[in-house]
Chain A
Amino acid sequence: MTEQSNGGPTGDAPTNDGQQFDRLPATADDREVEGRATREEVLDWWDQRFAIRPETFEEYSFWEKGKGKIWILHGEVSSPIRIEALGMKFLRTRQEHWKPTTNAVQRFGREATKNVVELTREEARRFVRGEDQELDWDGDWGYLVATHDLAGEREPLGVGLFVHGELKSLVPKGRQRDL
Protein backbone atom coordinates (compact mmCIF):
# COMPACT_ATOMS: atom_id res chain seq x y z
CA MET A 1 0.00 0.00 0.00
CA THR A 2 1.47 3.33 -1.01
CA GLU A 3 0.57 6.43 0.92
CA GLN A 4 -0.96 8.13 -2.10
CA SER A 5 -1.32 7.61 -5.80
CA ASN A 6 0.47 10.73 -6.98
CA GLY A 7 4.09 9.63 -6.92
CA GLY A 8 4.79 6.64 -4.71
CA PRO A 9 8.04 6.30 -2.79
CA THR A 10 9.43 4.03 -5.51
CA GLY A 11 9.18 6.82 -8.07
CA ASP A 12 6.70 4.98 -10.29
CA ALA A 13 4.58 7.17 -12.52
CA PRO A 14 1.37 8.20 -10.71
CA THR A 15 -1.68 6.19 -11.73
CA ASN A 16 -5.40 6.43 -11.18
CA ASP A 17 -6.54 5.18 -7.77
CA GLY A 18 -10.04 3.75 -7.89
CA GLN A 19 -10.55 4.40 -4.16
CA GLN A 20 -10.35 8.18 -4.29
CA PHE A 21 -11.51 11.20 -6.22
CA ASP A 22 -8.74 13.28 -7.84
CA ARG A 23 -9.48 16.70 -9.31
CA LEU A 24 -8.84 16.84 -13.05
CA PRO A 25 -5.76 18.85 -14.00
CA ALA A 26 -6.56 22.22 -15.58
CA THR A 27 -4.57 21.60 -18.76
CA ALA A 28 -2.29 18.99 -20.34
CA ASP A 29 0.73 20.81 -18.83
CA ASP A 30 -0.63 20.13 -15.32
CA ARG A 31 -1.33 16.45 -15.99
CA GLU A 32 0.48 14.00 -13.70
CA VAL A 33 -1.60 10.86 -14.16
CA GLU A 34 -1.19 9.40 -17.62
CA GLY A 35 -4.37 9.20 -19.65
CA ARG A 36 -6.35 11.40 -17.29
CA ALA A 37 -8.66 13.89 -19.01
CA THR A 38 -8.06 17.56 -18.29
CA ARG A 39 -10.65 20.16 -17.36
CA GLU A 40 -9.90 21.94 -20.61
CA GLU A 41 -10.51 18.78 -22.65
CA VAL A 42 -13.80 18.11 -20.85
CA LEU A 43 -15.06 21.63 -21.51
CA ASP A 44 -13.91 21.43 -25.14
CA TRP A 45 -15.67 18.13 -25.61
CA TRP A 46 -19.09 19.44 -24.51
CA ASP A 47 -18.55 22.53 -26.63
CA GLN A 48 -17.47 20.60 -29.74
CA ARG A 49 -20.05 17.86 -29.45
CA PHE A 50 -23.16 19.68 -28.20
CA ALA A 51 -22.23 23.39 -28.41
CA ILE A 52 -22.62 23.70 -24.64
CA ARG A 53 -20.46 26.70 -23.78
CA PRO A 54 -17.54 26.26 -21.35
CA GLU A 55 -18.93 29.13 -19.19
CA THR A 56 -21.82 26.80 -18.30
CA PHE A 57 -19.43 24.87 -16.06
CA GLU A 58 -17.54 27.82 -14.55
CA GLU A 59 -18.66 27.04 -10.98
CA TYR A 60 -18.13 23.29 -11.29
CA SER A 61 -15.11 21.10 -10.59
CA PHE A 62 -14.36 17.79 -12.33
CA TRP A 63 -13.03 14.63 -10.74
CA GLU A 64 -11.87 11.16 -11.73
CA LYS A 65 -12.60 8.06 -9.64
CA GLY A 66 -12.59 4.73 -11.36
CA LYS A 67 -10.60 4.67 -14.55
CA GLY A 68 -12.10 7.18 -16.96
CA LYS A 69 -15.18 7.95 -14.86
CA ILE A 70 -15.50 11.72 -14.59
CA TRP A 71 -17.72 13.30 -11.92
CA ILE A 72 -19.00 16.87 -11.72
CA LEU A 73 -19.32 18.81 -8.45
CA HIS A 74 -20.90 22.21 -8.01
CA GLY A 75 -18.14 23.82 -5.95
CA GLU A 76 -14.89 22.49 -4.53
CA VAL A 77 -13.56 20.05 -1.95
CA SER A 78 -9.95 19.12 -1.22
CA SER A 79 -8.22 16.70 -3.59
CA PRO A 80 -7.70 13.80 -3.31
CA ILE A 81 -10.74 12.76 -1.29
CA ARG A 82 -11.67 9.24 -0.27
CA ILE A 83 -15.47 9.12 -0.13
CA GLU A 84 -18.24 7.14 -1.83
CA ALA A 85 -19.59 9.67 -4.32
CA LEU A 86 -19.04 13.29 -5.29
CA GLY A 87 -21.64 15.24 -7.21
CA MET A 88 -22.82 13.41 -10.31
CA LYS A 89 -21.27 10.91 -12.73
CA PHE A 90 -20.81 13.02 -15.80
CA LEU A 91 -18.69 11.52 -18.55
CA ARG A 92 -16.84 8.33 -19.49
CA THR A 93 -13.35 8.98 -20.89
CA ARG A 94 -10.35 6.70 -21.63
CA GLN A 95 -12.15 5.11 -24.57
CA GLU A 96 -12.21 6.03 -28.24
CA HIS A 97 -15.44 7.99 -28.01
CA TRP A 98 -16.21 9.84 -24.80
CA LYS A 99 -19.70 9.17 -23.54
CA PRO A 100 -21.88 11.43 -21.36
CA THR A 101 -24.20 9.98 -18.74
CA THR A 102 -28.00 10.07 -18.97
CA ASN A 103 -28.16 12.14 -15.78
CA ALA A 104 -25.62 14.67 -17.03
CA VAL A 105 -27.50 15.09 -20.31
CA GLN A 106 -30.81 15.50 -18.45
CA ARG A 107 -29.22 18.13 -16.20
CA PHE A 108 -27.13 20.10 -18.70
CA GLY A 109 -28.50 19.07 -22.11
CA ARG A 110 -31.06 21.88 -22.26
CA GLU A 111 -28.12 24.11 -23.26
CA ALA A 112 -27.20 21.91 -26.22
CA THR A 113 -27.74 23.28 -29.74
CA LYS A 114 -25.73 20.74 -31.75
CA ASN A 115 -26.25 16.98 -32.16
CA VAL A 116 -29.68 17.32 -30.57
CA VAL A 117 -32.46 15.13 -31.95
CA GLU A 118 -36.08 16.05 -31.24
CA LEU A 119 -38.32 13.01 -30.89
CA THR A 120 -42.08 12.77 -31.19
CA ARG A 121 -43.98 11.59 -28.12
CA GLU A 122 -44.21 8.05 -29.51
CA GLU A 123 -40.48 8.00 -30.38
CA ALA A 124 -39.74 9.33 -26.90
CA ARG A 125 -41.76 6.48 -25.35
CA ARG A 126 -39.71 3.94 -27.30
CA PHE A 127 -36.52 5.70 -26.29
CA VAL A 128 -37.23 5.63 -22.54
CA ARG A 129 -38.28 1.96 -22.79
CA GLY A 130 -34.71 1.39 -23.94
CA GLU A 131 -35.65 0.40 -27.51
CA ASP A 132 -33.57 1.12 -30.59
CA GLN A 133 -35.40 2.72 -33.52
CA GLU A 134 -34.83 3.77 -37.11
CA LEU A 135 -34.28 7.48 -37.43
CA ASP A 136 -34.10 9.94 -40.27
CA TRP A 137 -31.05 11.93 -39.17
CA ASP A 138 -28.53 13.47 -41.55
CA GLY A 139 -26.23 14.91 -38.88
CA ASP A 140 -23.15 13.41 -37.23
CA TRP A 141 -22.98 9.80 -36.16
CA GLY A 142 -22.23 9.14 -32.50
CA TYR A 143 -23.75 10.32 -29.25
CA LEU A 144 -26.78 12.61 -29.50
CA VAL A 145 -28.90 14.44 -26.95
CA ALA A 146 -32.41 13.03 -27.42
CA THR A 147 -35.19 15.46 -26.49
CA HIS A 148 -38.95 15.76 -26.67
CA ASP A 149 -41.40 18.53 -25.95
CA LEU A 150 -42.75 18.62 -22.40
CA ALA A 151 -44.87 21.38 -20.90
CA GLY A 152 -44.16 23.65 -23.85
CA GLU A 153 -40.38 23.35 -24.00
CA ARG A 154 -37.72 20.97 -25.27
CA GLU A 155 -36.53 18.65 -22.48
CA PRO A 156 -33.60 16.20 -22.72
CA LEU A 157 -34.50 12.53 -22.30
CA GLY A 158 -30.98 11.14 -22.29
CA VAL A 159 -28.20 9.94 -24.56
CA GLY A 160 -28.77 8.20 -27.86
CA LEU A 161 -26.16 6.60 -30.10
CA PHE A 162 -26.83 7.19 -33.79
CA VAL A 163 -25.24 4.74 -36.25
CA HIS A 164 -26.37 3.19 -39.59
CA GLY A 165 -29.75 4.93 -39.66
CA GLU A 166 -30.64 3.77 -36.15
CA LEU A 167 -30.95 5.59 -32.82
CA LYS A 168 -29.87 3.31 -30.00
CA SER A 169 -31.27 4.20 -26.60
CA LEU A 170 -28.58 4.33 -23.90
CA VAL A 171 -31.03 4.88 -21.03
CA PRO A 172 -29.72 2.59 -18.27
CA LYS A 173 -32.00 -0.27 -17.14
CA GLY A 174 -32.79 1.38 -13.81
CA ARG A 175 -33.95 4.58 -15.52
CA GLN A 176 -36.08 2.92 -18.22
CA ARG A 177 -39.86 3.36 -18.00
CA ASP A 178 -42.95 2.24 -19.85
CA LEU A 179 -44.87 5.51 -20.21
Chain B
Amino acid sequence: MEKLERYEPLVEEFDAFLDACQRPLPSVVRVNTIKATPERARAALDDEGVGWTGREWSDAVLELDTDNPGSTWASYHGWIHGQEEVSAIPAEVLAPEPGERVWDACAAPGSKTTQLAALMDDEGLVVANDNNLGRLSALRFNTERLGVTNTAVTNTDSRNFSLKPFDFDSFDKALVDVPCSCEGTIRKNPTTLDDWSLNHVRSVAGVQKGILTRAIQATKEGGTVVYSTCTFAPEENEAVLDYALDAEDCRLVEFDFPLDSRPGVTEFEDESYDESVRKAKRFYPHHNDTGGFFCAKLEVTG
Protein backbone atom coordinates (compact mmCIF):
# COMPACT_ATOMS: atom_id res chain seq x y z
CA MET B 1 0.00 0.00 0.00
CA GLU B 2 2.90 2.40 0.65
CA LYS B 3 3.41 2.56 -3.11
CA LEU B 4 0.08 4.34 -3.38
CA GLU B 5 1.17 7.08 -0.93
CA ARG B 6 2.45 9.16 -3.84
CA TYR B 7 -1.18 9.79 -4.83
CA GLU B 8 -2.15 11.40 -1.52
CA PRO B 9 -2.07 14.93 -3.07
CA LEU B 10 -4.52 13.78 -5.79
CA VAL B 11 -7.08 11.75 -3.86
CA GLU B 12 -9.71 13.16 -1.51
CA GLU B 13 -10.50 11.10 1.61
CA PHE B 14 -7.21 9.32 1.16
CA ASP B 15 -7.75 6.94 4.09
CA ALA B 16 -11.07 5.79 2.62
CA PHE B 17 -9.22 5.23 -0.66
CA LEU B 18 -6.56 3.06 1.03
CA ASP B 19 -9.23 1.13 2.96
CA ALA B 20 -11.17 0.43 -0.24
CA CYS B 21 -8.00 -0.81 -1.97
CA GLN B 22 -7.70 -3.49 0.72
CA ARG B 23 -11.23 -4.84 0.38
CA PRO B 24 -12.04 -7.58 -2.13
CA LEU B 25 -14.08 -6.59 -5.17
CA PRO B 26 -17.73 -7.49 -5.63
CA SER B 27 -18.31 -10.27 -8.18
CA VAL B 28 -19.56 -8.48 -11.31
CA VAL B 29 -20.59 -9.83 -14.71
CA ARG B 30 -21.71 -8.28 -17.98
CA VAL B 31 -24.69 -9.72 -19.82
CA ASN B 32 -23.69 -10.70 -23.35
CA THR B 33 -26.54 -9.25 -25.40
CA ILE B 34 -25.42 -11.17 -28.50
CA LYS B 35 -26.81 -14.31 -26.85
CA ALA B 36 -29.36 -13.17 -24.29
CA THR B 37 -31.34 -10.14 -23.17
CA PRO B 38 -30.62 -8.82 -19.66
CA GLU B 39 -34.14 -10.00 -18.69
CA ARG B 40 -33.47 -13.57 -19.79
CA ALA B 41 -30.03 -13.66 -18.19
CA ARG B 42 -31.54 -12.48 -14.90
CA ALA B 43 -34.29 -15.09 -15.23
CA ALA B 44 -31.68 -17.85 -15.75
CA LEU B 45 -29.82 -16.70 -12.62
CA ASP B 46 -33.13 -16.63 -10.70
CA ASP B 47 -33.85 -20.22 -11.87
CA GLU B 48 -30.51 -21.34 -10.47
CA GLY B 49 -30.96 -19.47 -7.22
CA VAL B 50 -28.04 -17.10 -7.89
CA GLY B 51 -28.82 -13.67 -6.42
CA TRP B 52 -27.98 -10.54 -8.39
CA THR B 53 -28.03 -6.78 -7.96
CA GLY B 54 -28.38 -4.47 -10.93
CA ARG B 55 -26.46 -1.30 -11.64
CA GLU B 56 -28.27 1.94 -12.35
CA TRP B 57 -25.99 2.91 -15.20
CA SER B 58 -26.40 -0.26 -17.25
CA ASP B 59 -28.94 -3.08 -17.28
CA ALA B 60 -26.19 -5.35 -18.68
CA VAL B 61 -23.98 -5.08 -15.56
CA LEU B 62 -24.89 -7.30 -12.61
CA GLU B 63 -23.31 -7.98 -9.25
CA LEU B 64 -23.74 -11.67 -8.34
CA ASP B 65 -23.86 -13.20 -4.88
CA THR B 66 -21.48 -15.97 -5.95
CA ASP B 67 -17.69 -15.88 -6.15
CA ASN B 68 -17.82 -18.30 -9.02
CA PRO B 69 -20.04 -16.87 -11.77
CA GLY B 70 -18.42 -19.34 -14.19
CA SER B 71 -20.32 -22.18 -12.50
CA THR B 72 -23.74 -21.12 -13.78
CA TRP B 73 -25.79 -22.17 -16.77
CA ALA B 74 -25.91 -18.52 -17.82
CA SER B 75 -22.12 -18.56 -18.07
CA TYR B 76 -21.93 -21.95 -19.79
CA HIS B 77 -24.19 -20.59 -22.54
CA GLY B 78 -22.16 -17.38 -22.86
CA TRP B 79 -25.03 -15.22 -21.62
CA ILE B 80 -22.83 -13.63 -18.94
CA HIS B 81 -19.13 -12.84 -18.80
CA GLY B 82 -17.11 -12.00 -15.69
CA GLN B 83 -15.96 -8.40 -16.13
CA GLU B 84 -15.18 -5.84 -13.48
CA GLU B 85 -17.55 -2.87 -13.40
CA VAL B 86 -14.99 -0.19 -14.34
CA SER B 87 -13.64 -2.39 -17.12
CA ALA B 88 -17.03 -1.95 -18.81
CA ILE B 89 -16.58 1.85 -18.96
CA PRO B 90 -14.38 2.47 -22.04
CA ALA B 91 -16.45 0.49 -24.57
CA GLU B 92 -19.56 2.37 -23.37
CA VAL B 93 -17.73 5.68 -23.78
CA LEU B 94 -16.55 4.72 -27.27
CA ALA B 95 -20.21 3.81 -28.06
CA PRO B 96 -19.58 1.97 -31.34
CA GLU B 97 -22.60 1.52 -33.58
CA PRO B 98 -23.70 -1.41 -35.75
CA GLY B 99 -21.84 -1.33 -39.07
CA GLU B 100 -18.84 0.70 -37.90
CA ARG B 101 -15.19 -0.32 -38.18
CA VAL B 102 -13.56 -0.36 -34.79
CA TRP B 103 -9.99 -1.09 -33.74
CA ASP B 104 -9.36 -2.69 -30.36
CA ALA B 105 -5.62 -2.08 -30.09
CA CYS B 106 -4.85 -4.17 -26.99
CA ALA B 107 -7.62 -6.71 -27.13
CA ALA B 108 -6.65 -9.84 -25.15
CA PRO B 109 -8.26 -11.48 -23.25
CA GLY B 110 -11.33 -10.03 -24.94
CA SER B 111 -13.78 -8.67 -22.36
CA LYS B 112 -13.84 -5.28 -24.06
CA THR B 113 -13.69 -6.74 -27.58
CA THR B 114 -16.80 -8.81 -26.94
CA GLN B 115 -18.49 -5.81 -25.32
CA LEU B 116 -17.74 -3.70 -28.42
CA ALA B 117 -19.19 -6.45 -30.62
CA ALA B 118 -22.31 -6.61 -28.45
CA LEU B 119 -22.78 -2.82 -28.56
CA MET B 120 -22.60 -3.13 -32.37
CA ASP B 121 -25.21 -5.92 -32.39
CA ASP B 122 -22.41 -8.07 -33.87
CA GLU B 123 -22.59 -5.98 -37.10
CA GLY B 124 -19.69 -4.12 -38.70
CA LEU B 125 -16.11 -5.09 -37.94
CA VAL B 126 -14.02 -5.16 -34.79
CA VAL B 127 -10.33 -5.64 -35.52
CA ALA B 128 -8.99 -7.08 -32.29
CA ASN B 129 -5.21 -6.88 -32.08
CA ASP B 130 -2.80 -8.05 -29.43
CA ASN B 131 0.96 -8.41 -29.56
CA ASN B 132 1.03 -11.42 -27.24
CA LEU B 133 0.39 -14.67 -29.10
CA GLY B 134 -0.23 -16.58 -25.86
CA ARG B 135 -3.00 -14.21 -24.81
CA LEU B 136 -4.59 -14.39 -28.26
CA SER B 137 -5.87 -17.89 -27.53
CA ALA B 138 -7.86 -16.49 -24.58
CA LEU B 139 -9.19 -13.73 -26.83
CA ARG B 140 -10.27 -16.22 -29.47
CA PHE B 141 -11.80 -18.53 -26.87
CA ASN B 142 -13.85 -15.68 -25.40
CA THR B 143 -15.08 -14.20 -28.69
CA GLU B 144 -16.29 -17.64 -29.82
CA ARG B 145 -17.79 -18.58 -26.46
CA LEU B 146 -19.79 -15.35 -26.50
CA GLY B 147 -20.97 -16.00 -30.06
CA VAL B 148 -19.18 -13.02 -31.67
CA THR B 149 -18.99 -13.23 -35.48
CA ASN B 150 -17.93 -9.68 -36.47
CA THR B 151 -14.34 -9.78 -35.22
CA ALA B 152 -11.03 -10.17 -37.05
CA VAL B 153 -8.07 -11.05 -34.83
CA THR B 154 -4.56 -9.82 -35.65
CA ASN B 155 -1.24 -10.35 -33.89
CA THR B 156 1.14 -7.40 -34.21
CA ASP B 157 2.71 -4.69 -32.10
CA SER B 158 0.01 -1.99 -32.08
CA ARG B 159 2.67 0.73 -32.30
CA ASN B 160 3.35 -0.46 -35.86
CA PHE B 161 -0.13 -1.70 -36.72
CA SER B 162 -0.76 -1.93 -40.47
CA LEU B 163 -4.15 -1.80 -42.17
CA LYS B 164 -2.68 -3.59 -45.17
CA PRO B 165 -4.63 -6.87 -44.73
CA PHE B 166 -7.90 -4.92 -44.91
CA ASP B 167 -9.70 -3.20 -47.78
CA PHE B 168 -10.16 0.12 -45.97
CA ASP B 169 -7.65 2.70 -44.81
CA SER B 170 -8.99 4.00 -41.52
CA PHE B 171 -11.23 3.06 -38.60
CA ASP B 172 -14.32 4.92 -37.44
CA LYS B 173 -13.33 4.42 -33.82
CA ALA B 174 -10.54 2.94 -31.73
CA LEU B 175 -10.33 1.60 -28.20
CA VAL B 176 -6.88 1.98 -26.65
CA ASP B 177 -7.01 0.08 -23.38
CA VAL B 178 -3.27 -0.10 -22.88
CA PRO B 179 -1.03 -2.38 -20.84
CA CYS B 180 -0.30 -0.48 -17.63
CA SER B 181 1.06 -0.79 -14.10
CA CYS B 182 -2.41 -2.00 -13.02
CA GLU B 183 -2.48 -0.20 -9.67
CA GLY B 184 -6.27 -0.05 -9.94
CA THR B 185 -6.58 -3.84 -9.94
CA ILE B 186 -5.12 -4.27 -6.45
CA ARG B 187 -8.52 -5.29 -5.04
CA LYS B 188 -8.63 -8.22 -7.45
CA ASN B 189 -4.98 -9.11 -7.09
CA PRO B 190 -3.37 -7.90 -3.83
CA THR B 191 0.15 -8.73 -5.10
CA THR B 192 -0.17 -6.35 -8.07
CA LEU B 193 2.13 -3.73 -6.54
CA ASP B 194 4.88 -6.14 -5.46
CA ASP B 195 6.83 -5.49 -8.64
CA TRP B 196 5.92 -1.81 -8.90
CA SER B 197 8.77 0.55 -9.76
CA LEU B 198 8.97 4.03 -11.20
CA ASN B 199 11.13 2.62 -13.97
CA HIS B 200 8.36 0.24 -14.94
CA VAL B 201 5.85 3.09 -14.95
CA ARG B 202 8.14 5.12 -17.22
CA SER B 203 8.81 2.27 -19.58
CA VAL B 204 5.16 1.28 -19.93
CA ALA B 205 4.25 4.96 -20.48
CA GLY B 206 6.55 4.96 -23.51
CA VAL B 207 4.71 1.99 -24.99
CA GLN B 208 1.36 3.66 -24.23
CA LYS B 209 2.39 6.81 -26.13
CA GLY B 210 3.32 4.71 -29.16
CA ILE B 211 0.03 2.81 -29.16
CA LEU B 212 -2.16 5.88 -28.63
CA THR B 213 -0.47 7.86 -31.42
CA ARG B 214 -0.84 4.93 -33.84
CA ALA B 215 -4.54 4.63 -32.93
CA ILE B 216 -5.10 8.34 -33.65
CA GLN B 217 -3.32 7.97 -37.01
CA ALA B 218 -5.40 4.90 -37.93
CA THR B 219 -8.74 6.61 -37.13
CA LYS B 220 -10.56 8.80 -39.65
CA GLU B 221 -10.94 12.54 -39.22
CA GLY B 222 -13.87 13.21 -36.92
CA GLY B 223 -13.56 9.70 -35.48
CA THR B 224 -13.33 8.81 -31.81
CA VAL B 225 -10.49 7.28 -29.83
CA VAL B 226 -10.98 6.20 -26.22
CA TYR B 227 -7.86 5.84 -24.09
CA SER B 228 -8.03 3.92 -20.83
CA THR B 229 -5.85 2.36 -18.15
CA CYS B 230 -6.48 0.63 -14.85
CA THR B 231 -3.91 2.70 -13.01
CA PHE B 232 -3.67 5.95 -11.02
CA ALA B 233 -0.22 7.04 -12.26
CA PRO B 234 -0.39 10.42 -14.07
CA GLU B 235 2.73 9.32 -16.00
CA GLU B 236 0.55 6.68 -17.71
CA ASN B 237 -2.63 8.75 -17.88
CA GLU B 238 -2.56 12.53 -18.25
CA ALA B 239 1.09 12.61 -19.38
CA VAL B 240 0.32 10.21 -22.24
CA LEU B 241 -2.65 12.34 -23.32
CA ASP B 242 -0.50 15.48 -23.07
CA TYR B 243 2.05 13.84 -25.37
CA ALA B 244 -0.61 12.77 -27.91
CA LEU B 245 -2.19 16.25 -27.96
CA ASP B 246 1.22 17.63 -29.01
CA ALA B 247 2.18 14.88 -31.43
CA GLU B 248 -1.08 14.21 -33.30
CA ASP B 249 -4.14 16.02 -34.68
CA CYS B 250 -6.62 15.39 -31.91
CA ARG B 251 -8.45 17.01 -29.03
CA LEU B 252 -9.96 15.81 -25.80
CA VAL B 253 -13.74 15.89 -25.57
CA GLU B 254 -16.11 16.00 -22.62
CA PHE B 255 -18.22 12.96 -21.88
CA ASP B 256 -20.75 12.03 -19.25
CA PHE B 257 -20.56 8.83 -17.33
CA PRO B 258 -23.06 7.89 -14.63
CA LEU B 259 -20.50 6.74 -12.05
CA ASP B 260 -18.81 9.03 -9.54
CA SER B 261 -15.46 10.25 -10.94
CA ARG B 262 -12.88 13.02 -10.64
CA PRO B 263 -11.39 15.02 -13.52
CA GLY B 264 -7.94 14.34 -14.94
CA VAL B 265 -5.16 16.17 -13.08
CA THR B 266 -3.11 18.98 -14.63
CA GLU B 267 -0.22 18.82 -12.16
CA PHE B 268 1.66 16.01 -10.47
CA GLU B 269 5.02 16.17 -8.73
CA ASP B 270 7.18 18.37 -10.99
CA GLU B 271 5.09 17.95 -14.13
CA SER B 272 2.17 19.88 -15.55
CA TYR B 273 -0.14 18.85 -18.35
CA ASP B 274 -2.43 20.49 -20.90
CA GLU B 275 -5.50 21.99 -19.23
CA SER B 276 -7.84 19.90 -21.42
CA VAL B 277 -6.78 16.65 -19.71
CA ARG B 278 -9.34 17.66 -17.06
CA LYS B 279 -11.91 16.26 -19.50
CA ALA B 280 -10.62 12.76 -18.72
CA LYS B 281 -12.13 10.90 -15.77
CA ARG B 282 -10.49 9.17 -12.81
CA PHE B 283 -12.51 6.46 -11.10
CA TYR B 284 -11.40 5.68 -7.54
CA PRO B 285 -12.20 2.48 -5.61
CA HIS B 286 -13.85 4.25 -2.65
CA HIS B 287 -16.34 6.23 -4.76
CA ASN B 288 -18.28 3.44 -6.50
CA ASP B 289 -16.92 0.31 -4.74
CA THR B 290 -15.00 -0.70 -7.89
CA GLY B 291 -11.44 -1.07 -9.08
CA GLY B 292 -9.47 2.03 -10.09
CA PHE B 293 -9.72 3.28 -13.66
CA PHE B 294 -8.82 6.13 -16.00
CA CYS B 295 -10.69 6.98 -19.19
CA ALA B 296 -10.37 9.74 -21.78
CA LYS B 297 -12.28 10.42 -25.00
CA LEU B 298 -10.52 12.02 -27.97
CA GLU B 299 -11.69 13.29 -31.31
CA VAL B 300 -9.39 12.97 -34.31
CA THR B 301 -9.13 16.37 -35.98
CA GLY B 302 -6.83 15.78 -38.92
Chain A residues close to B by CB (< 8 Å): 59-60, 72-75, 77-78, 81-89, 101, 103, 106-107, 128, 150-153, 155, 157, 174-175, 177-179
Residue of B35, B41, B77 ringed by the most chain A CB atoms within 10 A: B77
6 further A-B pairs in the complex, CB-CB below 8 A; given A151-B36, A151-B40, A179-B71:
A60-B149, A77-B125, A77-B165, A85-B140, A103-B144, A103-B147
The CA-CA distance from A153 to B156 in the complex, in Å, is 42
Q: Are the CB atoms of B47 and A87 closer together than 8 Å?
A: no
B148 / chain A contacts, CB cutoff of 8 Å: 87-88
Main secondary structure of the interface of A (DSSP, over half): mixed
Q: Are the CB atoms of B140 and A84 closer together than 8 Å?
A: yes
* Distance in Å: Cβ of A141 to nearest Cβ of chain B: 26
Q: Are the CB atoms of B70 and A82 closer together than 8 Å?
A: no
Q: Are the CB atoms of A74 and B122 closer together than 8 Å?
A: yes
B124 / chain A contacts, CB cutoff of 8 Å: 75
Q: Are the CB atoms of A77 and B70 closer together than 8 Å?
A: no
Pick the contact of B154: A73, A83, A150 (CB < 8 A): A83
* Distance in Å: Cβ of B127 to nearest Cβ of chain A: 8
**CB within 8 Å of A: which B15-46 residues:** 34-36, 40-41, 43-44
Q: Are the CB atoms of A82 and B77 closer together than 8 Å?
A: no
Q: Is B225 an interface residue (CB 8 A)?
A: no
Q: Are the CB atoms of B140 and A106 closer together than 8 Å?
A: no
Pick the contact of B43: A83, A152, A174 (CB < 8 A): A152
* Distance in Å: Cβ of A23 to nearest Cβ of chain B: 12
Q: Are the CB atoms of A128 and B165 closer together than 8 Å?
A: no
B76 / chain A contacts, CB cutoff of 8 Å: 128, 157, 175, 177, 179
B144 / chain A contacts, CB cutoff of 8 Å: 88-89, 101, 103
Q: Are the CB atoms of A84 and B44 closer together than 8 Å?
A: no
Asked whether A178 and B71 contact (CB < 8 A) given A81-B165, A88-B147, the answer is yes
The CA-CA distance from A153 to B154 in the complex, in Å, is 37
A175 / chain B contacts, CB cutoff of 8 Å: 76, 145
A107 / chain B contacts, CB cutoff of 8 Å: 34-35, 147, 149
Q: Are the CB atoms of B147 and A86 closer together than 8 Å?
A: no
Can you list 10 A-B pairs with a CB-CB distance of less than 8 A?
A74-B122, A74-B150, A77-B165, A83-B153, A84-B155, A86-B153, A87-B152, A88-B148, A106-B147, A177-B70
Pick the contact of A88: B72, B143, B154, B165 (CB < 8 A): B143
The CA-CA distance from A148 to B228 in the complex, in Å, is 40
**CB within 8 Å of A: which B200-243 residues:** none
Q: Lowest 7 A-B CB distances belong to which pairs?
A: A85-B153, A151-B43, A107-B147, A78-B167, A74-B149, A151-B44, A103-B144
A103 / chain B contacts, CB cutoff of 8 Å: 144-145, 147
Asked whether A74 and B123 contact (CB < 8 A) given A87-B151, A88-B147, A177-B70, the answer is yes
B149 / chain A contacts, CB cutoff of 8 Å: 60, 72-74, 87-88, 107
The CA-CA distance from A151 to B152 in the complex, in Å, is 32
Q: Are the CB atoms of A85 and B152 closer together than 8 Å?
A: yes
Residue of B35, B40, B76, B124 ringed by the most chain A CB atoms within 10 A: B76
Q: Is B73 an interface residue (CB 8 A)?
A: yes
